[in-house]
Each structure stands twice: as structure tokens, then as C-alpha cells.
């Protein structure tokens, strides 16, 4: 039986949520991390994204916001499945847009790894659900752990401890 795209995406969201629960999310900012140096935002109207420190501050804030939204998917899935689906789509879009906010080559490389990992995770979840593969939960948990490590590496780089 073929599932429509909306049902597959919803199923992928369910697998991702289960993976988040199993892995303890891993994308949330590490509480033991030293604070990222706060940088003044780039002047309004400027086409330049700012210094590496400014770009780091923006990225860490956005990744923290994404992690917060990821944590909401599970609670919404039971009460508002369409809202959970929309939130998952928004998260995917925001992760995809991260590299448009920076110009620093070191940050671009780290963001590229995070984006590739997320895209692979969503694709695996979608395909696994379509195929009825119940082993997806373990793979999703491992994938989320790996993404969490990449986010931590980005935070450490931005804090100057990497």
C-alpha cells in the first residue's frame, strides 16, 4: 500500500520524535558549554553578514531555536499532527537556510555537515516508514546523536574551545 506524501512526512515525524526521545535529543545546546561571545549584530541594510563572531552568535541562536522547536514536535504529534508536520517542515527549511546566513568558510563546512546529516535522517525516516522498517528507531537515534555532536562541535568552535 502506497502512502501519500503527507502521511509519509507525518510518519517520518513520528520516527524522528521517537528517535529524539530515545536519544535524549542531542541537539539541545550543551549546558556545560561556555557562553558564545556576544557580537553586535551587523548594521541594518548591510549586505555583509558580519564577522565570524557575529555569524557564530547568529548560528548558535538559530540552532538553539531549532532544538527548542524539535522538542515541541513530540507534544504536538498527539494533539496537533498537522501542526507537528508543519513544524517539522519549518525546521527542515530553517536547517537548509543556515548556510545562507554565513560567509565564513569554517562555519560553512560545519553547517554543511549538519544539513547533510539532517537531510539523511529525514530521508531515512521517510523511507523506513514507507517500507515498514521498524529498525529505523535505532538508526534515527544514532543519527540524532551524531547531529548533536556536530552541533556541539559548532558551539565549541564558536566559543573558541575547539
Taking only the tens place, the pLDDT of each residue in 75-126 is 787 788 888 888 888 888 999 899 888 899 999 999 999 999 999 988 888 8
For the cut 50, the answer to whether the pLDDT of residue 161 exceeds it is: yes
- How do the domains of the chain map onto residue ranges? 5-24+51-159
**Sequence-separated (6 or more) residues with CB below 8 Å from residue 58:** 41, 49, 50, 101, 102
Options 2.40.128, 1.20.1440, 3.30.2320, 4.10.240; which CATH number does 5-24+51-159 get?
1.20.1440
Amino acid at each position: 500500500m502506497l502512502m501519500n506524501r503527507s502521511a509519509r512526512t507525518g510518519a517520518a515525524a513520528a520516527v524522528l520524535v521517537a528517535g529524539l526521545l530515545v536519544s535524549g535529543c542531542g541537539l539541545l545546546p550543551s549546558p556545560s558549554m561556555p557562553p558564545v561571545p556576544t557580537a553586535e549584530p551587523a548594521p541594518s541594510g548591510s549586505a555583509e553578514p558580519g564577522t565570524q563572531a557575529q555569524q557564530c552568535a547568529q548560528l548558535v541562536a538559530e540552532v538553539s531555536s531549532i532544538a527548542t522547536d524539535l522538542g515541541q514536535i513530540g507534544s504536538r504529534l498527539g494533539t496537533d499532527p498537522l501542526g507537528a508536520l508543519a513544524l517539522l517542515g519549518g525546521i527542515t527549511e530553517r536547517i537548509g537556510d543556515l548556510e545562507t546566513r554565513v560567509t565564513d568558510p569554517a562555519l560553512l563546512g560545519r553547517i554543511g555537515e549538519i544539513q547533510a546529516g539532517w537531510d539523511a535522517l529525514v530521508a531515512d525516516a521517510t523511507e523506513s516508514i514507507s517500507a515498514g522498517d521498524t529498525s529505523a528507531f535505532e538508526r534515527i537515534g544514532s543519527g540524532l546523536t551524531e547531529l548533536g555532536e556536530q552541533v556541539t562541535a559548532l558551539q565549541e568552535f564558536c566559543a573558541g574551545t575547539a
